[in-house]
Amino acid sequence: MDKTLLIMAAGMGSRYGGNKQIDGMGPHGEILLEYSIYDALQAGFTKVVFIIKRDFEQVIRDMVGDQLAKRVKVEYVYQEFDTLPAWYRKPADRVKPFGTVHAILCAKEVIHEPFAVINADDYYGRAPYQLVGKRIETLSEKQEACMVGYYLKNTGSDNGHVTRGVCATTPEGRLTGVTETYKIQPFPDGTIRDTNADPNGVVLDPNSLVSMNLFGFTPWIFEIAEKRFADFLKSLKADELKAEYVLPVLIDQMMHDEGLTVDVIPTDAVWFGVTYKEDKPYVQDLLRQMHAEHTYPEKLF
């Protein structure tokens, strides 16, 4: 079965202080999305779609896209203001993108098969691609989706706070809701706490499942997302210049109104990324070790 990996690579890392999507992390300057692509191909994915800014295309082609195209089909789509609905008039002062729902909608004309969605600047581990790849092969054409759930303890940064979507599930593993939890950070006593409202922090369960934006869908989602994104745009006031419509909100709405069911697939994999510049040496050391242990070949592509 054809399976697509949809990579959201149109954003800039504001806390990181630059475009971390193209910052070399591996021992030969590999960027994180190269590892995601390598792991996805090992799991049987047959196409890669990059969601990018137009002026970013040549960079991606030079770094990975042209070499990748020798092995699988590659597509480029653009998250720009000119890909908004023709009837919508963007406020002149708006500079912020409209969120991850708009991002995936930019790919609706090139994806006609089950697909997984990831962030370009995250390392997800190899096993999650096997898990999501296997599940999307069996999703019903409509009303089913899946999400890989990471244990909170495996998704933090020692260099600052992070935001995570903490998942609530049924005993059978169906998603019932995602709570965006802000300013999560480790404490010296080994606990993980939410410090958003209390500097001393509210202790969180380290084994809580959280969303890291690794979802599996069928093309049906585009049909619903297009309608709901239009409703979102219509609801915006002229002075709302930073509001975004994001995938967890869409999924929550679809669970309640369209009967969407989302299977949460737990994984023991350790997520890592470069939320802060101080994360980079840690990430580089981990990748260097994985190459040395032959988890990855000397050259990915």
pLDDT tens-digit map of 146-192: 999 999 999 999 888 999 999 999 999 999 999 889 999 999 999 99
Tokens of residue 159, six digits: 């260099």
Residues of the chain with pLDDT under 50: 12-17
pLDDT in tens, 219-232: 999 999 999 999 99
Does residue 155 contact residue 224 with C-beta atoms inside 8 Å? no
What type of residue is 224?
A: I
What type of residue is 58?
A: Q
Find, among 105, 114, 117, the residue nearest to 222 by Cα: 105
Q: What pLDDT sits at residue 14?
A: 42
Looking at residue 279, the DSSP 8-state letter turns out to be G
Find, among 98, 94, 114, 96, the residue nearest to 106 by Cα: 98
Find, among 295, 255, 60, 236, the residue nearest to 147 by Cα: 255
For strands 192-194 and 202-204, give the pairing.
Answer: antiparallel
Q: What pLDDT sits at residue 12?
A: 45
For tokens 């137009």, name the residue: 54
Q: What pLDDT sits at residue 229?
A: 98
CA dist 118 and 97 (Å) reads: 17
Model pTM score: 0.93
- Range list of H helices, 69-206: 100-105, 127-136
What type of residue is 153?
A: K
Tokens of residue 133, six digits: 């790849």
Q: List the domains of the chain with CATH numbers.
A: 4-292 (3.90.550.10)
Angle at 141 between CA 139 and CA 145, to 5 degrees: 45
